[in-house]
Amino acid sequence: MRKRNHTYNTDDTIAAVSTAPGIGGIGIIRLSGKKAIQIVDKIFVSKDKVKLSARKTYTACYGRIKNKSEIVDEVIVTIMRAPGSYTKEDVVEINCHGSGVLLRRVLDLALAGGARLAEPGEFTKRAFINGRIDLTQAEAVLDIINAKTESSTKIAARQLEGELSDEIKLIKEALFGVLVEVEAQIDFTEEDIELLAKKEIIRRLKAISGKIESLIDNATKGMILKEGVLCVICGRPNAGKSSLMNAFLRRNRVIVTPMPGTTRDAIEEVVNLEGVPLVVVDTAGITRAVDVAEIKGIQKSKSYIKKADIILFMLDLNKKWSSVDENILNSIKEKPIIVVANKSDLRRKLDLKKIKKNKYLKKIVKISLLKKINLRFCEKAILETIWHGKTGNFESVLVTSLRHKRELARAKNSVESAVQALNKRKAVFPEIAASFLREGVFSLGAVLGDTADIDILDGIFSQFCIGK
């Protein structure tokens, strides 16, 4: 595959630790580049004394890393020759014992031998530059690393396999085909050449616009499964917020006591709710603060409320509606609210009929955290709010990136503008339509990385860890 036209030098050989920091059974040093095999040959002695440079690709061999006469570690070295490697360059991986000190020593020997330390994401960047993967697949590598649930892992794996890329390539090819036809209409109006009718061109463009729109519509779902949903539990002190947090987690993560104000700080955890990474935040009870710790805790609670996607508004069925509840409602009423009415096992003092009349408090779930009553209904209400009452279908091609969504929206706008131009009768409008179509092809190319700006590429790959 032809190398992509981006300004980047791949002549040098890079090296990095590719396993996570800390102590483990195995740690891996990875090298990629023209001199990767040559550099490791300087420091590795196999048991059979055969050099790596004399071995076939996809070979694993046992031996020792040596610093002159000193044995540094017993290792297994694997070689993958270009182009059959992750980066399409010569790649060598040294499997060492997992001591951080030991890995650093082996890496230093590789660097002293002529490699340079890899930048974050540089191995994946080389895979992209060398044409092994496109930009959506490169981003999928990062999504797999950061995946919070099994569902988000599967979606990222499908994207890495090229599911989204293939769909966008088909749309781009179709759009480019229409662009060629429109330009032919401009260039060969006087020639005896059979050209598509304008109605057929417009029909094709509308079909392309529909396919792009379908991807955009799925973007919200995809980004929810990738990034998760921020769900903030708030309410007056001692309403049961911390107990609800523990119920979600199925463990006692938060201290619970009968004393109001036990929770002084916001506590954040991720829960897998039927494939959705639900970021649950237990906040300090919002009331009139009496000390500095409470003031800071309440300020943090309000900060989380501003960022929240969903609010779980905790009410105590054993207590009447108060000015404290009213003040909390005023601070959350612009958000999607689920009222969680706790202590349904006790005598009810809260007038739920009156509360239901409030336009902001239509969704109410009655539970008892003590007796574990209706907790599943609370989770069901959250899922209904996330998916707007529809079931979460994860089988369609999903866009999981805001960058992708923006470029697709630009492409759709360009296609629609081209249709509007073609519907005009004046002779100049086919040229305008062609200009819009070129912009649309460019935007689709930006999703794949064919036309992406170097700053965008640097921004994407800088999010990776060193060694990937």
> Which of 133, 166, 200 represents a domain boundary (last residue)?
133
Domain total of the chain: 3
What kind and span of H or E run contains 272?
A: strand 267-273
Residue 435 has pLDDT above 50, yes or no: yes
Is 374 inside a domain boundary?
A: yes
pLDDT of residue 453: 75
pLDDT of residue 246: 85
**Averaged pLDDT for residues 175-185:** 88
**In the numeric block, which tokens belong to residue 406?**
């923006």
In a domain, 167, yes or no: yes
Residue 335: pLDDT band with limits 50, 70, 90: very high
Please report how many Cα atoms fall inside a 13 Å half-sphere around the Cα of residue 329, on the Cβ side: 15
Q: Determine contact, residues 53/35, Cβ cutoff 8 Å.
A: no
Cα(422)–Cα(432) distance, rounded to whole angstroms?
A: 8
What are the helix (H) ranges across 59-162?
100-112, 122-129, 135-146, 150-160
Co-location of 367 and 239 in the same domain: yes
**Angle between helices 135-146 and 122-129 in degrees, nearest 10:** 160
Q: Looking at residue 120, what is its pLDDT?
A: 92
Q: How far apart are CA 368 and CA 352, in angstroms?
A: 15
Whether 29 is in a domain gets the answer yes
Segment 191-217 mean pLDDT: 83
Q: Are residues 416 and 320 in the same domain?
A: no
**Ranges 12-16, 232-236, 302-306, most confident:** 12-16
**Given this model, what pLDDT does residue 263 score?**
46
The mean of the pLDDT values for the chain is: 86
The pLDDT of residue 287 is 52
Supply the CATH number for residue 418's domain: 1.20.120.430
Question: From the CB of residue 289, how many other CB atoms can be counted at a distance below 10 Å?
Answer: 16
Average pLDDT value for residue range 415-439: 85
Q: Which residues pair with residue 217 across a beta bridge?
A: none
Q: Give the domain extent around 337.
A: 228-387
Judged against a pLDDT cut of 80, whether residue 447 lies above it is answered with: yes
Q: Is the pLDDT of residue 8 over 90?
A: no
If asked whether residues 246 and 381 sit together in one domain, one would say yes
Residues 43 and 29 in one domain: yes
Confidence grade of residue 125 (pLDDT, cut at 50, 70, 90): very high
* Position 262 pLDDT exceeds 50: no
What pLDDT band is residue 380 in, cutting at 50, 70 and 90?
Answer: very high
Same domain, 114 and 164: no
Does 415 lie in the same domain as 381?
A: no
Which domain-ending residue is among 85, 114, 133?
A: 133
Residue type, 246: N
Report yes or no on 195 lying in a domain. yes
Residue among 105, 97, 171 at smallest CA distance from 444: 171
Average pLDDT over every residue of 450-461: 82
Instruction: Quote the percentage of the chain above a pLDDT of 70.
Output: 88
Domain of residue 84, CATH code: 3.30.1360.120
Strands of the 14-17 sheet, one edge to the other: 44-46, 59-67, 70-80, 91-98, 24-32, 14-17, 116-117
pLDDT above 90 for 21? no
Over residues 282-332, the pLDDT tens digits come to 886 555 554 555 566 667 777 888 899 999 999 999 999 988 889 889 989
pLDDT of residue 118: 95
pLDDT (tens digit per residue) in 398-414: 899 999 999 999 999 99
Average pLDDT over residues 341-366: 88
Q: Kindly report the CA angle at 362 between 361 and 368, in degrees rounded to 5?
A: 80
Please say if the pLDDT value at position 196 is more than 80.
no
Q: Which of 6-15, 212-221, 328-337 has the lowest mean pLDDT?
A: 6-15
Where does the pLDDT of residue 430 fall: very low under 50, low under 70, confident under 90, or very high at 90 and above? confident
Closest-CA residue to 208 (of 459, 456, 444): 444
Asked if residue 336 and residue 252 are part of one domain, the reply reads yes
pLDDT of residue 109: 97
Q: What is the pLDDT of residues 25-64, one digit of tens each?
A: 999 999 999 999 999 999 999 999 999 999 999 999 999 9
Does residue 255 carry a pLDDT above 60?
A: no
Residue 392: its pLDDT value, please? 54
Q: Please tell me which residue, 159 or 260, carries the higher pLDDT value.
A: 159
Do 196 and 340 belong to one domain?
A: no
Adjacent-strand bridge partners of 415: none
Could you tell me the pTM of the whole model? 0.80
Tokens of 308: 């929240």
Residue 237: asked if its preceding bond is cis (omega within 30°), the reply is no
Higher pLDDT: 1 or 451? It is 451
Q: Are residues 250 and 361 in the same domain?
A: yes
The one-letter code for the residue type at 54 is A
pLDDT of residue 253: 62
Residue 80 is assigned to a structural domain of this protein: yes
Per-residue model confidence (pLDDT) at position 373: 87
Check whether 2 has a pLDDT greater than 50: no
Question: Does a structural domain hold residue 350?
Answer: yes
Q: Give which of 35, 42, 40 is closest to 82, Cα–Cα.
A: 35
Same domain, 427 and 370: no
Indicate whether 24 pLDDT > 90. Answer: no
pLDDT band at residue 377 under the 50/70/90 scheme: very high
Residue 344 located in a structural domain? yes
Quick check: is 34 in a domain? yes
Which is nearest to 322 in space by CA: 258, 248, 260? 260
234 and 353 share a domain? yes
Q: Please tell me whether residues 98 and 178 are part of one structural domain.
A: no
